[in-house]
Amino acid sequence: MSTGGSGKGALQRWLSTGEMARLSGTTLRTVRFYEAEGLITSRTREDGTHRKFPERELHKLQLISDLREAGLSLQEIKDLIALKAGCPNAARAASEMTANLCERATGIARRIEALQRVHTELSSFLEMLRVCKGCTHPQFPAGCGECEVTAQPGAERANELFWKN
Amino acid sequence: MSTGGSGKGALQRWLSTGEMARLSGTTLRTVRFYEAEGLITSRTREDGTHRKFPERELHKLQLISDLREAGLSLQEIKDLIALKAGCPNAARAASEMTANLCERATGIARRIEALQRVHTELSSFLEMLRVCKGCTHPQFPAGCGECEVTAQPGAERANELFWKN
DNA sequence: TTGCTCCTCACGTCACGTGAGGTGGC
DNA sequence: TTGCTCCTCACGTCACGTGAGGTGGC
């Protein structure tokens, strides 16, 4: 891991492509792809072939990765990054960014609620399966649909999909 | 919306492709694609061309859609659906299903935490933007990196990506 | 005749995955 | 010589999106 001086005498850490991937939980391919798409930037090393990234690019990569998981497309992320430069002054940029990010935040909140519902449903279904683990009825697997155990409340959809056949 | 008798005299509702899409928050294309992939099943109507789905298939579609949002691939969902049929008895099926779903539930819980972190970070950034809306400094946009307002704790990554330039 | 909903190909797209084949320092 | 990490094409994949062109009842 190489270090070098930067402004104000702070230690500037340079990260390799592999370090970027590991520290962000992504892959080599993703790091290179995002660089090619202009989402993060690198300087080529002395050898002229290996990339080196300043630590700031790692933070950007981490947030981009999180936003992708939150459902934003790369184009939407690019648009957000370009938003400030397209505004004539700070007030305008701040209010446009606010409007856009408020929508995103609402979308993410909805997504969180949806995931919590799935998690709850899977938990109910797992609760039912605890009973099924001790099941010795000979009508398995065809008769499970008629079994009273599968009436576990909150697990209806999981039962339809995974258990009733 | 057509109805017809089924066993036990219960009303059997049949849903069109469009109704399936609307009620599950997916698209016509997705409904047809999942049917082609064997994830849901339909009967062809009297006219021989339009699909009709029993209500049970809607519930399956809804859960499949939720699981997709939760990060599972269609292959992983197919494997879960096929799991029971590949087991010799109920106890075995229940414990294999439990092991698999516990992993999924943990993954979903991790995903929820990740989304909550992004949401918190965006909220901190939005908090900062409230100050920026009243900004009249002439150094916009290049000087924002040196502005003390951008030191808002918890919004470091969002600042790097969207604001400091 | 217009409008609505459904249909079947079939090519396009997005965000990477996955080899193939090669380099460079310990 | 082996092993590790990095590299550049370039084709493949997954889960649909998106027209093109057509049907059928109000």
- Interface contact flag, B140 A89, Cβ < 8 Å: yes
**Cβ of residue B94 near strand C, that is under 7 Å?**
no
Give per-residue pLDDT as tens, A59-73: 999 999 999 999 999
Q: Which residues of B72-90 are buried (b: 16+ CB within 10 A; e: fewer)?
A: beeeebeebbebbeebeeb
Confidence class for position A4, pLDDT limits 50, 70, 90:
very low
Given phi > 0 = left and psi -120 to 50 = alpha, else beta, which region is A88?
alpha
Give per-residue pLDDT as tens, B3-47: 333 445 567 789 999 999 999 999 999 999 999 999 999 997 667
Confidence class for position A48, pLDDT limits 50, 70, 90:
confident
Tokens at residue B51, please?
């699909």
A77 near A39, Cβ under 8 Å?
yes
Q: Does B147 touch chain A (CB under 8 A)?
A: no
Report, in ranges, which bases of strand C sit under 7 Å from a protein C-beta.
Answer: 5-8, 10, 14-18, 24-25
**Mean pLDDT over the full length of chain B:** 92
What phi and psi values does residue A5 have, to the nearest 5 degrees? -70, 150
**Mean pLDDT over the full length of chain A:** 92
Confidence class for position A138, pLDDT limits 50, 70, 90:
confident
Task: Output the DSSP codes for A17-71.
Answer: HHHHHHHHT--HHHHHHHHHTTSS--EE-TTSSSEEEEHHHHHHHHHHHHHHHTT
Chain A residues touching residue B116 (CB < 8 angstroms): 112
* Amino acid of residue A137: H
- pLDDT for the residue numbered A7: 45
- pLDDT for the residue numbered B5: 38
Question: Omega before A141 cis (within 30°)?
Answer: yes
- Which residue matches tokens 């995974």? A162
Please check the confidence at residue A143 and state whether its pLDDT lies above 80: yes
CA B21 – CA B27 distance, rounded (Å): 5
- pLDDT for the residue numbered B9: 53
- Which residue matches tokens 């609402």? A106
